[in-house]
Each structure stands twice: as C-alpha cells, then as structure tokens.
Structure 1
Amino acid sequence: MKKVQEFGKRKEPHTVIIAQGQNIRHFTIRPWVVGLAATLFMAMAVGYLLSTSYLILRDDLLNTAVARQAKLQHAYEDRIASLRGQVDRITSHRLLDQQFMEGKIAELASRQNVLASRSGMIEPLLERAKELGVSASPASASTLPVPKLRPGTKNKQARLGFGAPVTNIDTITTGSIAAQDADELPSLTKLADVKSDLHDIERTQIEQIAALSDAAAEQREKIVNTARQAGLPIRALETTGTGGPFIPSNAKDLDAIFDSEIVSFNKAIEELEETKETVRSFPIANPAPGKSISSKFGHRKDPIIGKSAFHGGIDFRAPTGTRINAAANGKVVKAGRNGGYGNMVEIKHANGLTTRYAHLSRIYVKAGQRVVAGQKIGASGSTGRSTGPHLHYEVRSGGKPINPIGYLNAGTRLSDYL
C-alpha cells in the first residue's frame, strides 16, 4: 500500500519566485511550457542557421553572377574594341586606296586634258599641211587622234569612262567595304589600260606630226632636185640625218618631244613654203594653158617679110580673147602699147628675170601692180606687128631674151608639187 502511494504521489511543478522590495512575484513553470519554449528555441536556431546559410549562399551566387557578367562585359568590350580597330584599319586603308586612285585618276584626267587641248594646236597645222599638199603616209594627216572629254560632267572618273564617283569615306561600313572596292573604285588594271590608251594616242600624235615633218622635208627636197634637173638656178639642199627608235620614258618627256616635233614641223613647213615661193619666182607657169606652140625660140623665117630673123620668144596659138596669165610672181613694169609688140605687159621677177606678153587685145593690170603666178593679166589678140591672133611670150635675163621652154618644162615637172 505504501508503494502504491509512492507511485501515485503527485509531483509539484517548479515555481519561480521574484522578490523586489515588498513585492513578491512567482511564476509556475509547467513542463509543457518548457517543452514549447525548447521547441521554439530549436526552431529559431534552425531558422537562423538556415537564414544565415541562405544569405551566405546568395552572396556567393550573386558574386559569381556579377563576376560572370563582368567577364562577359569585358569580353564584349574587347570584341567591340577589336572590331572598331579593324574598322578603323579598313577605313584607313580604304581612304589611302581612294586617295591613291584619285591621284591616278587626276593624273590621267590631266593627260587627257593635255591631249584634248592639243587639238586646237594640231588642227591649223593640218590645214596648213593640207594646203601645201603634205600628207603623212600610210596614215592620213587628217586622222590624227584627239581624245574628247565627255561633256556635261566634272567628275574625273566619268570623264575617263569609269562608273559612278566613289562614296564618301564617312559612309563606309564593314558590310559595304568589299562592295565599294569591287564596284566603285576602278581597278588598277583599268587605270593601266586607260593610261596605255592615252599613251598610245600621244605617241600616235607625235609620230604623225613627225611623219608630216618628214613628208614636208621630202617634198621640199624633191622640188629642189626637180628644179635643178630642169635647169633652174636653185642651190642644192645641205641636209644632215638623225635617227633612232622612239622610246619616251614619261609624260614630261612626251611633252618635250611633242613640243620639239611641233617646232620641227613648223620649220619644215616654213622651209617648204619658202622653197615653193622661190620656185614660183621663176617664170615656170604656162601663160596660155592648154594652147600649143606655133613658133619656137631662135632663128626663123620672118612671117611678114619672109627673111631670116631672130625670134626672141615663143608664140602660142590663142584665139582672140583667150585668157593670158602671169608666168610667175612679180611686179608689172609696163602695161600698154609698145611698138611692134602692140599691147604688151612686162613683169619683173626675182633673179633678174622679166617676162613679156605681147599682141594682147586687152590688158587687165597696170604698171606698179603686184601679181602672182597664174593671175589673169590680159587677153590674147593681134595688135602690133602680127599676122593673126596669138600670144608672143618672152623670158629675159639681164635684159637679154632666153629660151622660155626650159622654164615651161620645169613648170610641167613641178606642177604636182606646186
């Protein structure tokens, strides 16, 4: 019975007494309160640990994410910097290429301008050569090439035959550089072709001007030789020869050669004109073209009295009114009635020579007048001591009559050159 009482004996709960002066407080601590407090404490401890762990892990994750983001940003900035540098290099190269091409194009345009401007210099020379009967063989002088600039544009590329002008360098992007290189800037090969074409044109101009100079010199030599063979007192030419292949080195050399050839051409033309003028000063032109000779120079039977007499000229069969021309350049010294000559014109020429045209029905010049070879001076007739209409023609040297046939034969030989 005692054991049962001990087993069933009630255990009193713990009491906490707090005394403060006259005030006394006490709290009874029951077991379930202790358990609940322990449970709450444990929960709080676990929560704290979990929270701390979460915060630590979160900071690590954030730091890792930030580091990764920073790394990606640095890599992106490095890539951008690399691309920017690449674009700058390409743009710089593109600008240099464009400047180089524009320099070449400007150089070619300048050469084209030079060649085109020469047309104004060449054309009158060609006309002058044509008037003198000078032509270069095998190509005609009129075929000298003169490049023409394309009108209506100031763009050098368009004037040279290239495409559209180059796009401004500020608008170049990495995606368009290759296209502009391929489509807008003319290739070095094309520039070389244009330069070669201009060079060929310039050489052709120089070669044909030189050919014209040679042709003028050759014609002058033929005139002098033919005149000497015909008996005209013309001094023989003293010539010296030069030669060698034509190998110009650059544009400045070509300019100098062209100027030299122009000087040589002008000199050759002037010498040819001077030679022709000298030859024309001799009475070599036929005063009655197409008319036959009825009486020669020298001794003959006088047609009126029938006795032997000296005939100081030659007679041409010419019906009344036939045109009579001056046989050479000169000055009229007599124009009127002159004894047995009837109506007569006398012309003084160079080299101490004079010519007389007698028995004229009409006179169209007067004393002191300058005339040129082939100019109309009168009309044939039968005035003076004459048996019928004809032209009495004389050539005198130092006042003495000489045979005109030699001069007329010279004129026939030289007609193709004069």
Structure 2
Amino acid sequence: MSARTQGRVFGKRREPHIIIVAQGDNIRHVTVRPWMVALGVSFLGMMAIGYLGATTYLVLRDNLIGASMARQARMQHDYEDRIAALRAQVDRVTSRQLLDQQVVEEKVEKLLEQQMALSSRHGKLDTLVDRAEENGLVPEAAPLPTVKPGDGSQRATLSGGIGAIDRLLGKDSAEAEATPDNLTLAYVPLRQTAADRADRLFSTVTRSLKDIERSQLDRLQQLTIGATVVADEIDSILRKTGVRVDVASSAIADQQAIGGPYLDPQSPTDFDNSLDELDAALTRLEAMRSTAKRLPFANPAPGKPITSRFGNRIDPFFGRLAMHAGIDFSATTGSDVKSTGAGVVITASRSGGYGNMVEIDHGDGITTRFGHLSRILVKVGDEVAAGDLIGLAGSTGRSTGPHIHYEVRRHGDAVDPMHFLNAGMKLTSLVD
C-alpha cells in the first residue's frame, strides 16, 4: 500500500478547495463542496442539452411542420372520401327506395284501374242481371270486388315516402317509425324483401281479379245461352202460327230519346262483347215475350167445351156445307168473355150475323173477333190486356143458342184459332 493511500485512510483528510475572492479590502472565500461541483456540472449539462435541442428544433422545424400538415391533410382527405362514399351509398339506397316505391305505385294504380273497371262492369252487369231475372233467368252469384276504388288507405303516394309503401305491404307503421336513421344502410335487404312481398301481393290480387272477371264472363255466357234458348223456343212456336218477330224494329220502337257528340268508338274487350251479346239475347227474348203476351194466345172461355171448330161444316140454318171462320165455345148467357191478348178495341157494336161483336187489333196484322155477345163492356179505342173482361156471352145475331163465337184473323183472313190456342199452352211456361 502506498504512502498516499495510507495517509487517506489513517487520518489525513484532503482539504476542500477554497475559492478566495478579493475586492479591495474585502476578502471573501467560498469553500467548494463536491455537491456544488456536481450541481454545476449538471446545470451545464442541462444547458448544453437544451441548446442542442433548440438548435435541432430550429433546424428541423420546417420538416416537422410539413410532415404534420401532410398527415392532417391525408386524414382529412380520408375522412372526406369516407363521407362521400357514405353519401353515395345513401343516394343509391334512396334511389332504390324511390324506384321500388314507383314500381309499387304503378302496380297499385293498375290494381285500382282493374277494380274500377270491375266496378263499372258490375253496374252494367247489374242492369242486365236484373233484366235476366225479370225474364226468369236466375244466374249464380258471382264474386265482386271488395276493395272500393279510390280507397286512400290502399294508395302509395310520393308524399307518403317509404312509410306509404310499408303500409301498402302490411308493415306496422309504429315499427317503421321506430327504425333509427342510422340504420338506413341496413334497410336495403328489407326493401328487397318488401319488393318481393309487393310482387307476391300484386300477383295474388291480379289472379283474384282475373278469377272474378272470368266468373263474370262465365255468368254472362250462361245467361246469354239461357236467353237464346228460350227466345229460340218462343220464336219457333210463333213461326208455326205465322208470326215473325222483327227484333231490330222492336228495339228501335222501344228506344228512348238519346243523343250526344260523336266520339270514336273504343276497342271492345271480351267483357264488352259478352255484355253486348247478353244485351242482344235479352232484347230478343223480351221482344219474343212481348209479342207472345200481346198476341191472342189465351183461351177466351177457359174450361168451356168446343161445340164447333174452324173450317167447313153443315150450316145450322141452310143445312148445306158452309165455311165456319172461328170456333164456338159452349157458354150460358151472361158468362164472362175475356180478351185473349193485349190490343186496342176497333169494333164494339152490332155487326150483321155476329150480333153484338167486339173486335180487337193485336198488332202485326192480327185481330180477334168475339160474336153473339149479350152485352158489350168496352168501347172503340179502349186498350185491353189479356184476360180483361170485354163482354158477356149470349145469342145475338145469327145464332141458335148462347155460346161464344171466337175468330182469329191475319191481315183480314180468318185462320184456325186452334193454332194460337195450342201455341198458347206451349208458351205458358216460356212467357210467364
């Protein structure tokens, strides 16, 4: 061990450094402690580090500021791009919703048009069905539209937005209003589902309306066939009696006063054609029945026996062959004599061998005569219907006893009344 080391260890201590400052007569001394040295060194180190940091900042400031601005610009651009993408997506969704709404509105308009057409057809059909029922043709009931045209609850409008479509498609309005705005993008799958539901709804309603239309067409066809069959039967019976019914003339005669500006005709549909066919068939049937009810097909003395028929017979006064222009019915004096058809009285007076006679014009050149009456109960110009009382049976004129002399004449020529009586029995079930 050296002497220096031994001196430190065994009692020699090192004297601290003393700084003596003399200023004039004043002398000061400062003892320099180790911690003071450490503090000074630390201070100097901190100053050196600060200086170096400040110098580095001043040198690199522009680069740091540029990098920070570039980073902020990139962040802003990214944000703006994201906002633009979201807006574009929202626009696409909104456009798709508006397109779906437009499609649904078009379909609803078509449904409403079909419903309005069915309703207007129903009005026309009601008139024809009433006529058919009046003529004894009872059709099966056909379904009718249950939704009234113009029902606001069934119409989707632009002012209603998506909510109108949701209500149309059956979605609960409270549920629709409760959907948050921030779930707009997630609504796309629901709109697709709603469009599918709209397609199914439209298809279902369209099929239902077509079924109704088909049912109405079937009913029209059945009524037309029924009216045609009955009219053909009546026409066949009338033709056998020599009566031909001109349906066109009858329709013109019964037509009421009409008018209006001329417009181009609309293209007829199957339903319109069916309506026209049924209308023509009913018009023909009504003309046939009107003619059958007007002409003398009834019996002037129901239940009374025939004592002399139409044709040649032995004259009761001269005893030789003579023409009998009518039919004689046995009757007691004062028995009712009734008109056999509708018409106008053209003779109501005493007429030669007929005695008291009533002659009725039934139209179409057909007249009837009732002779040998004990009393006449009508006068010339009176309108009578089938079954009306026109006189009382008797034996006036060229007669051997009380009876009813009945004639049917066509254009002045006598025809056998039995043809009309037989036809009347066949027409009973067709005309009543």
- Give the aligned partner of residue 118 of structure 2: 115
- Give the aligned partner of residue 216 of structure 1: 227
Q: Distance in 2 between matches of 1:121 and 1:236?
A: 25
SS at match of 2:209: helix
Q: Distance in 2 between matches of 1:100 and 1:300?
A: 88
Name whichever of 322-331 and 348-357 sits farther off.
Answer: 322-331
- Give the aligned partner of residue 187 of structure 1: 198
Equivalent of residue 328 in structure 2, options 280, 293, 315: 315
Residue 108 of structure 1 and its aligned partner are, at CA, apart by 0.3
Equivalent of residue 105 in structure 1, options 108, 114, 136: 108
Q: Distance in 2 between matches of 1:265 and 1:351?
A: 26
Q: How does 1:7-406 map to 2 (within 5 A)?
A: 30=30, 32-33=31-32, 38-48=37-47, 82-133=85-136, 135=137, 140-141=138-139, 143-150=141-148, 154-156=152-154, 163=170, 173=181, 174=183, 177=187, 186-228=197-239, 230-234=240-244, 256-279=269-292, 282-300=295-313, 310-318=323-331, 323-372=336-385, 374-385=386-397, 386=399, 389-406=402-419
Q: Distance in 2 between matches of 1:25 and 1:387?
A: 200
The normalised TM-score by structure 2 is 0.68
**Alignment CA distance shift 1:33-1:322 (3 Å):** farther
Q: Distance in 2 between matches of 1:71 and 1:217?
A: 88
Name whichever of 188-197 and 340-349 sits farther off.
Answer: 340-349
Residue identity matched to 2:139: A
Residue identity matched to 1:218: V
Conserved in 2, the CA contact under 8 Å of 1:294 and 1:315? Answer: yes
Q: Distance in 2 between matches of 1:157 and 1:163?
A: 12
Residue 351 of structure 1 and its aligned partner are, at CA, apart by 4.5
Q: Percent identity?
A: 35
Conserved in 2, the CA contact under 8 Å of 1:319 and 1:380? Answer: no
Residue identity matched to 2:39: L
Gaps of 5+ in 2: 1-14, 157-166, 248-265
**Alignment CA distance shift 1:401-1:150 (3 Å):** closer
Conserved in 1, the CA contact under 8 Å of 2:326 and 2:407? Answer: yes
**Alignment CA distance shift 1:94-1:13 (3 Å):** closer
SS at match of 2:42: helix
Conserved in 1, the CA contact under 8 Å of 2:335 and 2:392? Answer: yes
Conserved in 1, the CA contact under 8 Å of 2:245 and 2:288? Answer: no
Q: Distance in 2 between matches of 1:94 and 1:69?
A: 37
SS at match of 2:208: helix
Residue identity matched to 2:152: K
Gaps of 5+ in 1: 1-9, 19-23, 238-252
Deviation string, structure 1 residues 317-337 (Cα, Å, up to 9, x no partner): 445665543333433111133
Conserved in 2, the CA contact under 8 Å of 1:295 and 1:315? Answer: yes
- Give the aligned partner of residue 242 of structure 1: none
Conserved in 2, the CA contact under 8 Å of 1:224 and 1:236? Answer: no
**Alignment CA distance shift 1:41-1:414 (3 Å):** same
Residue identity matched to 1:381: A
Residue 142 of structure 1 and its aligned partner are, at CA, apart by 5.4
Q: Distance in 2 between matches of 1:108 and 1:156?
A: 10
Conserved in 1, the CA contact under 8 Å of 2:132 and 2:282? Answer: yes
**Alignment CA distance shift 1:328-1:367 (3 Å):** same
Residue identity matched to 1:154: G
Name whichever of 34-43 and 67-76 sits farther off.
Answer: 67-76
Residue 382 of structure 1 and its aligned partner are, at CA, apart by 1.7
Conserved in 2, the CA contact under 8 Å of 1:364 and 1:377? Answer: yes
Residue identity matched to 1:188: D
- Give the aligned partner of residue 424 of structure 2: 411
The normalised TM-score by structure 1 is 0.70
SS at match of 2:357: strand
Residue 395 of structure 1 and its aligned partner are, at CA, apart by 1.6
Q: Distance in 2 between matches of 1:236 and 1:413?
A: 21
Name whichever of 105-114 and 333-342 sits farther off.
Answer: 333-342
**Alignment CA distance shift 1:26-1:321 (3 Å):** farther
Q: Distance in 1 between matches of 2:196 and 2:17?
A: 110
Residue 42 of structure 1 and its aligned partner are, at CA, apart by 0.9
Name whichever of 217-226 and 186-195 sits farther off.
Answer: 217-226
Conserved in 2, the CA contact under 8 Å of 1:165 and 1:184? Answer: no
Conserved in 2, the CA contact under 8 Å of 1:331 and 1:347? Answer: yes
SS at match of 1:365: coil
* RMSD of aligned Cα (Å): 4.9
Q: Distance in 1 between matches of 2:245 and 2:38?
A: 148
Conserved in 2, the CA contact under 8 Å of 1:312 and 1:401? Answer: yes
Residue 257 of structure 1 and its aligned partner are, at CA, apart by 2.5
